């Protein structure tokens, strides 16, 4: 399994909202480092939206600030966008999931997620 880590949106959301799987994500989040942990910008969108919806704007802003402070944010550029499109076509993934997978591949990172669509792919640790 790859040493670098990409925690998917569902993991961060579980962690910040105290969801039922938060404890299972904690080891992957508590030791986050910008050298080993990567976050696609689409994950920031999803985390901010969901945390704001459930807990308010202040906590959503704090959650994203923590993600940005402890991981390396990877913006979607033209190369990643086209790679994500290829991955989407090959595996039947949604746009967000394909961007996550393309980013993980680019960063040579394993994906930590509860998303069953991603869970069937290589280099993914499915949290259940």
Delimit the domains of the chain by residue range. Answer: 4-126
Task: Name the token pair of 101.
Answer: 């997978």
**pTM for the whole structure:** 0.93
Whole-number pLDDT of residue 9: 97
pLDDT at 2 (0 to 100): 64
**Residue (of 19, 29, 17) closest to 125 by Cα position:** 29
Yes or no: is domain 4-126 CATH 3.40.50.1010? Answer: yes
CB atoms within 10 A of CB 95: 12
Residue 1's pLDDT is what?
A: 52
40: left (phi over 0), alpha (psi -120 to 50) or beta: beta
Residue 3 pLDDT class (50, 70, 90 cuts): confident
pLDDT above 60: residue 34: yes
| CB neighbour list of residue 114: distance below 8 Å, 6 or more residues apart | 8, 10, 11, 14, 21, 126, 127, 128
Sequence-distant (6+) residues with CB within 8 A of 30 are none
Residue pLDDT, tens place only, 60-113:
999 999 999 999 999 999 999 999 999 999 999 999 999 999 999 999 999 999
Alpha carbon 13 to chain centroid distance?
10
């Amino acid at each position: 399994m790859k040493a670098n880590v990409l925690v998917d949106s569902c993991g961060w959301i579980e962690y910040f909202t105290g969801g039922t799987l938060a404890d299972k994500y904690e080891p992957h989040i508590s030791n986050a480092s910008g050298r080993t942990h990567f976050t696609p910008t689409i994950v920031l969108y999803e985390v901010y939206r969901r945390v704001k919806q459930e807990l308010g704007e202040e906590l959503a802003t704090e959650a994203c600030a923590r993600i940005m402070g402890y991981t390396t944010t990877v913006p979607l550029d033209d190369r990643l966008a086209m790679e994500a499109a290829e991955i989407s076509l090959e595996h039947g993934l949604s746009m967000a999931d394909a961007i996550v997978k393309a980013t993980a591949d680019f960063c040579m990172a394993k994906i930590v997620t509860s998303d069953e669509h991603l869970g069937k792919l290589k280099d993914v640790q499915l949290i259940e």
